[in-house]
Structure 1
């Protein structure tokens, strides 16, 4: 066995690896648990009642890769909230593919891929913006599809986390708390924007992001997520 092999075995003894989705030993994320992210993107905006800005605007098109259920849900929660940063690379790879598919639908003019901002507390716990890393991957996929894209974190958010809140409370928690960074306000006019988030739940986050961006002259074409929460009693995809 090589020296690298010995160190790998020692590492597994000291820090056992388990699949973030199903708990299988000796693999960080098994192929079966990753499989839902390998298919084509599909539209899911009809699931999110808060995407229409309370009736003020047409619902935003949202593309996603999978239902936020079972092992995929477990893996995304482990990545976001339990320090499983080893999942960033495979999640980003899935987002490159998704960005390629969506970019092919959005034409050849330049795009700005904007990650939905997390609360300051969440970013401190996670050591930065994990969704921002997915935005970089999505931009690379869009660019490869012929829609030149740049990822930029132009939004900031105040207020608490959204976890555990219902649709109405999510909206109230975000109302007026998502804003464009001061340094970016003057250069958004005329920009074509693709929003990026990890999971679509009620749509409150994406609606608040859209409102903030369009207030400064951007056009939000749609949004892309890794997963979408299905309505009670039904799944699709």
Structure 2
């Protein structure tokens, strides 16, 4: 390395150090002005987006043992089996999420219950966009098997009329935060919800399937980017999976090599139902 290269390397290291100090200083100042508080209780916590220990202990995290494909949790690991009955049966099973022309894998951070519903609802309807960073850390931990290589994050879209009335898409907010936390690429507008659909709440599984059939399409400007890609769909809540499956079918028809899904909370059979 010549003298010029050494000077250039030294300058880069010095600038990186200054940037690190500036970032630390800005975080310190932000914490001083607005001390970190629990997302639900308002209690003091170590960093923004964290949950108080008492809240953390009450949340039901989805971790092993679980189905290696759809991620549904099991009470105990079944020796010699890593797939649930729905994944073994494939598309013929009424509860199947995983099949060749649809989703490949699903992972969720939390069981959807009274407590996790508060997290999802506050983000979705109460303008608590500040919650996204903390929630994304839970999702990144749950989706570590999916968030690899050149995976591309794509949020489940809202119809433009719903987006205007709500002002933001909670799935896009989470996708942006997961991208920051994981360092993976992000395409916010790859999918379009070109047909407005009634709310899914209260519909049966078959009704939900019919409701979203043909509702999504890939943006023409991103068709080439989808071809051969490993895409990870991002959403806030998984109930029957009809919306995620409809999105996955569109992406697979456009040539995506793999389509996984990473979700904040999931309704399980003993859960309380959908938002």
Normalised by the size of structure 2, how large is the TM-score? 0.63
Segment drifting more, 42-51 vs 123-132: 42-51
Q: Deviations over 1:126-181 (max 9, x none)?
A: 322221122233334444xxxxx311120111223323322112111110011111
Question: Which of 151, 171, 177 does residue 137 from structure 1 map onto?
Answer: 177
2:218 equivalent in structure 1: 180
Determine which structure has more spread, i.e. the larger CA radius of gyration: 2
Normalised by the size of structure 1, how large is the TM-score? 0.72
2:191 equivalent in structure 1: 155
* Mapping for residues 83-162 of structure 1, pairs under 5 Å: 83-103=127-147, 106=148, 108=149, 110-143=150-183, 149-153=184-188, 154-157=190-193, 158-160=195-197, 161-162=199-200
Is the alpha carbon distance of 1:57 and 1:213 closer, same or farther for their aligned partners in structure 2, counting shifts above 3 Å?
Answer: closer
User: Does the CA-based 8 Å contact 1:83-1:126 persist in structure 2?
Assistant: no
1:13 equivalent in structure 2: none
In structure 1, list runs of 5 or more residues that go unmatched: 9-16, 144-148
RMSD of Structure 2 on Structure 1 (CA): 3.6
SS at structure 2 position matched to 1:207: helix
1:208 equivalent in structure 2: 246
SS at structure 2 position matched to 1:93: helix
Q: CA deviation at 1:26?
A: 6.1
Q: Deviations over 1:34-75 (max 9, x none)?
A: 45387757512859825257xx74763211111000211122
Is the alpha carbon distance of 1:156 and 1:57 closer, same or farther for their aligned partners in structure 2, counting shifts above 3 Å?
Answer: closer
SS at structure 2 position matched to 1:87: helix
Q: CA deviation at 1:99?
A: 4.3
Report which structure shows greater RCO (CA 8 Å, sep ≥6). 1
Q: Deviations over 1:96-134 (max 9, x none)?
A: 43444532xx5x3x1111111123343223322221122
2:9 equivalent in structure 1: none
User: Does the CA-based 8 Å contact 2:132-2:177 persist in structure 1?
Assistant: no
Segment drifting more, 26-35 vs 63-72: 26-35
